[in-house]
Each structure stands twice: as structure tokens, then as C-alpha cells.
Amino acid sequence: MSAPHGRRTQTPTASHTAIVGLQWGDEGKGKIVDLLTAEHDVIVRYNGGANAGHTVQVGAERYALHLIPSGILYPDKACVIGNGVVVDPEKLLQEIDTLRQRGIQVGTNLRISDRAHVVMPYHKEQDAALEEYLGAKTANARGNLSIGTTRRGIGPAYADKVRRSMAIRVGDLLDADYLRSRLHVICTLRTAELEALGVRTAPLDPDALAARYAEFGERLRPHVDDSVYALHDAMAAGRRLLFEGANASLLDIDHGTFPYVTSSNCSTLGIPAGTGVPGHAIGRVLGIMKAYSTRVGAGPFPTELDNELGQRIRERGREYGTTTGRPRRCGWLDLVAVRYSAMVCGATGIACTLFDVLSGLDEVKLCVRYRLPDGSETDRFIPDAHRLEGVEPIYETLPGWSEDVREAPDRDSLPEAARRYLARIEQVVGVPIEVVSLGPERTQTLVDGRRAAALATA
Ligand code: GDP
Ligand code: IMO
Ligand code: MG
């Protein structure tokens, strides 16, 4: 007999973990998720879509995950794409095929929410058209107004979710007749919208789209599930969940540098809505923070180094987008921003990544406050692009270190200046650094001060 309904919804033990980016993305979430997968059972994506690019490096093998949780490399773990994700079925199927070709098992270990929304080709068309329009047609004294999106259709797909009547969900792909009937209405309206942007002259063909997407639905059918019940069943059976944030807190639609953000709640606040798991189930929130800052696309970046030093960090950190290949903008670590993200996400610990990249600099800087246009100072972040553009970073300058730290056996054996840098971050943010990442590989990691042991590999 199944547990009575009231029992099922009792407060779950807070033994679940969230991984979340504390900056503007690409903090090394994929690497840390992979590291923590060993001690969890189910890895769950709750937001974003194929705009994410999470890299996991295992020896010479490098995997770039976009929609599938980074835990997929472990054959005995379950991976869930939650209802808060926007799924591009074509990209997802390509990702499944690529992983299988590389010997990774992708079967019923991958579950996809029937309520996740679908990114359709017209969403990508809309995304690109709006970016072009804002870039070319509205360029004015303030410059280009485009966001610099990944053009993966993310914003338009989430917009359709909120508009309701124009949306398609993964479950809809499993019912060809229903899908076709919806697409007949949607395509008429969407064609008119695309024509207004001056990008489409031929009408969208609902029958062709319905046939193609119903076929994708058939291929995805074995994975489609009611992920909310699946996750609650797993929790009730004592399994530990690991939530994998995509994008990052400063790109959160509500709490990021609006409007230069993505269209989902990428902070941990997106977890309950994006999975159906209540926030109090999560006992550990590991915020991922690069030892410096990067940003891809447009938007304010107070500590940006638009100079030779920024270029040097870009080359040493190989700061080129995992999804789009775009060069990432680089700058000093902004602790005003990180402290804000840690607060919003409820970070209980920090993983400081790409720490090896800072070796060889005479001095390193930490932004601890901003100077506002009226000359006053603040230690509070300003999650509004227009106002944030006006601030000037106030730095503390610390001595740098020349040693290569990649093979350091423990935190105590890092150069003194490197330890001081980490200690100062902990002091300013008020959250302990539990993990220090010294290279892209699993073993190039200090966990609780000591070198992570080599893990059983995929
Ligand atoms: P994510 O989106 O947060 O998962 O991060 P990305 O995968 O987009 O970008 C992080 C990049 O840094 C990837 O190429 C990783 O392999 C690499 N990386 C992760 N941690 C480290 C580190 O500690 N040192 C160095 N040098 N590279 C790292
Ligand atoms: P991961 O998970 C870095 C940025 C885009 C753009 C803005 C909006 O790999 O850290 P979108 O296509 O989402 O509408 O673009 O958000 N962006 C990211 N930047 N890493 C990401 O993901 C990102 N996801 C979105 O560059 O500025
Ligand atoms: Mg990335």
C-alpha cells in the first residue's frame, strides 16, 4: 500500500545539495557537480536550457553538457531534467546520441519532466531576430541594446510559457493530434509576429512542424516522466538529490543585472518552482565562484579588465564560451556581487574555481565596495543594469604569487599570498571556502583543505 498522501509530503530531511553559480556563469559548475555526484543519487537540472554549457574533464576526455545533467557520466546515478527547464528536443537528442557514441549510458537513467516547456525552431528565429533588431536598429548614443543572448531561443520559449496559450510542453509532443491542433493556432500568430520583426515572409508550416516534433516526442517517450513525483519518491526512498544550477545568480531574471540576464530563476530560488521540491529540503548550497570574474554577452561588469591583463586571464583560463565559443570578458573578483549572490542563494559554502589561473601576477585585487556617481560608497550590489553601469569598483590590493599551484597537496601548502587571498574572500563574503579548484580535472581539487582522491570514473 502506498504511503498516505499526508505522509508523502512531510518535511523531508534536509540532506540534499544545490550547486549554483555566484557570478555571471561558467564558474566551473560542471566540474563541481561531477565531483559531488559520487555522494548523491539523483542529479537534477531546474532551470535554463541549451544556453548552458557545463564542462566535465575526466583525464583526456572532455564532455560539454548543455541540457543533460553533468551526473550522466556516472552509470549508476539518475539524472532529471525538471519542469523549470526549457528543452530543445533536437539539441537534447543530439546530446544523447553524442554521449552514447562515446560509450556513456543514456537510457531510463535520464528522466525528463512532461511539464518542461519546449524550445521550438521559431523561438530561435525570434531570439536571433530580436537581437539583430536591437543591435542594428536601435543603436543610439548608449550603443547597442542587444543582450548578447546565446540565440538558443531561451527568452522566447520562457515568454511563451508565461503567455500560456502559445506554449508547448514535453508531454504535448507525445500526442500528435493535440500537438498539431495547437500548432495550427500558434503558427498563425507566430508568423504574424515574425513578419512584424521583418524576418519571415513565408508562413510557418504547422503540419510539417507537428510531424517533426511528434517524431522527436516518440524518441524521447521512454524518458518522459512526472518528475515531481519521481523526485519525491526518490527522497522518500532515502536517495540524495543534487541540484545543478544552469547560468548563474547574476543572470537570474529577478535578482540579476536586469535586463542583461537570462529568462529563468537561476539562483537557488528557482529550485522549488523548477522541480517541485520545497526549498527546505536543501541543506547544503555550494556556491561556485571563479577566483576572478567573467561575463559573456552584454551588460554591466564593474571590475572588467578591458586590457592586456584581462586578455592574459582569458588566455590562461581558456575563457571562451562552451556553448557559443565567444571570448568571455574577464576582470577582478567582485566580492560585492559574490556576497549578494551568496545571500540570495543561501550559500552554506563556496567552491573557488580556476584558482590556478591567478598564478604569476605581481598583485591581485578584490573589489570590496562600489563608489556611486554622487561620490558615496556602498557595499551593496545593485541588481539593475542601468544603475550598476554608473558604479566604480573600490579595490583592496593583495600581493600575488608566482608558484604553479596545480599540484598542491593541500590548502596549507599553497603559497602564503594565495592563502591570504582565500582567507580575505571568506572574511568579506562570510561563507567558508570548502573547495578550491586548481585545474579542470577531478583530482585537481582541494576538498575541505585536502586533495580530492581520484574517483571511480565513468
Ligand atoms: P560551467 O558552465 O559553470 O559548468 O563552466 P564551463 O564549463 O562553461 O567553464 C569552465 C571552464 O573552466 C571549463 O573549460 C572547465 O573545464 C574549466 N575549469 C573548471 N575548473 C577549473 C580550474 O580550477 N582551473 C582551470 N584552469 N580550469 C577549470
Ligand atoms: P552556464 O550554465 C554564461 C548569458 C548570455 C547572455 C544572457 C542571456 O554555462 O554558466 P540567453 O541565451 O540565456 O537568453 O542569454 O545570459 N548566459 C550565460 N553566460 N554561461 C551561461 O550558462 C549562460 N547562460 C546564459 O551570454 O548574456
Ligand atoms: Mg558554461
Find the 429 Cα to ligand 3 centroid distance in Å: 23
Q: What number is the average pLDDT over the span 9-19?
A: 72
**Rounded distance between C-alpha atoms, residue 46 and residue 49, angstroms:** 9
Nearest CA to ligand 2 atom 16: 262
Same domain, 104 and 158: no
Ligand 1 binding pocket (C-beta < 6 A) is 21, 25-31, 53-55, 57, 317-318, 322, 353-357, 437-440
What was the pLDDT predicted at 323?
78
Q: Is 270 in the pocket of ligand 2 (CB under 6 A)?
A: no
Among the options 54, 123, 223, 232, which is catalytic? Answer: 54
CA-nearest residue, atom 10 of ligand 1: 28
Q: Which of these three, 189, 224, 259, is where a domain ends?
A: 224
Asked which of 224, 250, 285 is the last residue of a domain, the reply is 224
The residue contributing the CA closest to ligand 1 atom 16 is 440
Indicate if 200 and 238 belong to the same structural domain. no
Identify whether residues 309 and 425 lie together within a single domain.
yes
Probe residue for ligand 2, chosen from 150, 154, 260, 288 as the CB with the greatest number of ligand atoms within 8 Å: 150
Name the average pLDDT for the chain: 94
26 lines ligand 2 (CB under 6 A): yes
From atom 23 of ligand 2, which residue's Cα is the shortest distance away?
247
My answer on whether 173 and 214 are in the same domain is yes
> Which comes out higher in pLDDT, residue 13 or 237?
237
At 289, which helix (H) or strand (E)? strand 282-290
327 lines ligand 2 (CB under 6 A): no
Across the range 255-266, mean pLDDT stands at 98
Tell me the mean pLDDT in the region 50-59.
96
- Residue that is last in its domain, among 193, 224, 255: 224
Pair 313, 250: CB distance under 8 Å: no
Q: Is residue 26 annotated as a catalytic residue, yes or no? A: yes
CATH number of the domain encompassing residue 50: 3.90.170.10
Predicted pLDDT of residue 446 = 97
Residue 390 has pLDDT above 60, yes or no: yes
Domain that holds residue 125: 117-224
> What CA–CA distance (Å, rounded) separates 293 from 299?
13
- pTM check: above 0.85: yes
The answer to whether residue 329 sits within a structural domain is yes
Yes or no: say if 127 and 156 are a contact pair by the CB < 8 Å rule.
yes
Question: What does the alpha-carbon distance between residue 212 and residue 180 come to, in Å, rounded to a whole number?
Answer: 10
What pLDDT is attached to residue 177? 98
Q: Which amino acid is at 240?
A: R
pLDDT in tens, 401-425: 999 999 999 999 999 999 999 999 9
Buried b (16+ CB within 10 A) or exposed e, 149-186: bbbbbbbbbbebbeeeebbbbbbbbbebeebbebbeeb
Q: CATH number of the domain that 215 lies in?
A: 1.10.300.10
| pLDDT tens figures, 430-455 | 999 999 999 999 999 999 989 987 55
**Residues 270 and 368 occupy one common structural domain:** yes
Q: How far, in Å, from the CA of 52 to the mean position of ligand 3?
A: 5
Number of independent structural domains in the chain: 2
Distance 454 CA to ligand 3 centre (A): 24
| Cβ-based neighbour number of residue 64 at 10 Å | 15
Which pLDDT score is estimated for 388? Answer: 98
**Ligand 3 center to 451 CA (angstroms):** 24
Q: Which tens digit of pLDDT belongs to each residue from 181-212? A: 999 999 999 999 999 888 877 899 999 999 99
83 C-alpha to ligand 2 centroid (Å): 19
